[in-house]
């Protein structure tokens, strides 16, 4: 079946530090990969996505590249801000399971001044 | 504005009561979903519906029921058979297909008192 594994948090960084949140997946076929962000007390918002191998998704300074050879989709940002503090979820959908999302457990990011 | 509306934001339930969580979308999406979020466990799929008058069980459907009488609406009932209902519940919708992202509501926090 499909599964997503994320690095455990919390991740604590100083403002302007470099961010990496690791995500690896298990899936047969050709999954699409997503990063969602959740701010306290709110629902999830799509941050970025990639639908085929070697695609790079990017948004608001965040980037992730779909690496089929390593089954990974690591999230990166060159310089984090306090406003980036949130929980980040890696997720996938797959052919055969249509638009159902399989989520990782989430990684909490805390950015301090 | 287009989006997904969940209500209420907070809900308290006594032991043995059934409660219904509302989810409405005006995005004209075919597919709708209910997820449960618990600390440290990511999001788990309760039920999903790909078309009106049809729905399927997700990974943790026991103790829950749904209906899909209209395209815009997908209410979730938490029954007294659900042994541990205290959680954050998220509704989502999407177009059908593995490459489409889901849009989420703001969530309902259910607490058993």
B11–chain A Cβ distance below 8 A for any pair: no
Which residues of chain A approach chain B closer than 8 Å at the C-beta? 30-32, 34, 36, 41-46, 49, 51, 89, 93-95, 97-101, 103-106
Q: Percent of chain B at pLDDT above 90?
A: 77
Per-residue pLDDT reduced to its tens digit, A43-65: 999 999 999 999 999 999 999 99
CB contact under 8 A, A100 and B97: no
* pLDDT surpasses 70 at B104: yes
Interface test with A, best of B91, B99, B103 (most A CBs within 10 A): B99
Q: What is d(CA A43, CA A13) in angstroms, rounded to the nearest whole number?
A: 24
* pLDDT surpasses 80 at B14: yes
Q: Which residues have CB under 8 Å from A49's CB, separation 6+? A: A32, A33, A34, A35, A57, B101
CB of B76 within 8 A of CB of B85?
no
pLDDT band at A113 (very low <50, low <70, confident <90, very high): very high
Q: Residues B74, B19, A41, CA angle at the centre, nearest 5°?
A: 75
Q: Which two tokens stand for residue B99?
A: 């490459």
Interface test with A, best of B42, B88, B91, B100 (most A CBs within 10 A): B42
CA of B81, closest CA in chain A: separation in Å? 25
pLDDT band at B78 (very low <50, low <70, confident <90, very high): very high
* pLDDT surpasses 80 at B77: yes
Of all residues in chain A, the one with the smallest CA distance to B100 is A99
B21: Cα within 13 Å, side-chain hemisphere: 34
Per-residue pLDDT reduced to its tens digit, A66-100: 999 999 999 999 999 999 999 999 999 987 666 78
* pLDDT surpasses 90 at B42: no
pLDDT of residue B49: 94
* pLDDT surpasses 90 at A41: no
């Amino acid at each position: 079946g499909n599964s997503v594994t994320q690095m455990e948090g919390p991740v604590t960084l100083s403002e302007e530090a470099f961010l990496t949140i690791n995500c690896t997946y298990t899936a047969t076929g050709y999954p699409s990969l997503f990063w969602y962000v959740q701010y306290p007390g709110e629902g999830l918002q799509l941050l970025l996505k990639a639908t085929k191998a070697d695609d790079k998704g990017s948004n608001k300074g965040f980037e992730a590249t779909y690496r089929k050879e390593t089954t990974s989709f690591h999230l990166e940002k060159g310089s984090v801000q306090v406003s980036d503090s949130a929980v980040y979820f890696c997720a996938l959908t797959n052919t055969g399971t249509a638009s159902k999302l399989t989520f990782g457990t989430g990684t909490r990011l805390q950015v301090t001044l | 504005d287009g989006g997904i509306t969940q209500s209420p934001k907070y809900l308290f339930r006594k032991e043995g009561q059934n409660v219904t969580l509302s989810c409405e979308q005006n995005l004209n999406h075919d597919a709708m979903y209910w997820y449960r979020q618990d600390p440290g466990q990511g999001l788990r799929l309760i039920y999903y519906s790909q078309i009106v008058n049809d729905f399927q069980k997700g990974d943790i459907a026991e103790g829950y029921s749904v209906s899909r009488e209209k395209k815009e609406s997908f209410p979730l009932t938490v029954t007294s058979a659900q042994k541990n209902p205290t959680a954050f519940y998220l509704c989502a919708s999407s177009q059908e297909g593995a490459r489409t992202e889901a849009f989420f509501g703001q969530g309902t926090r259910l607490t058993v008192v």
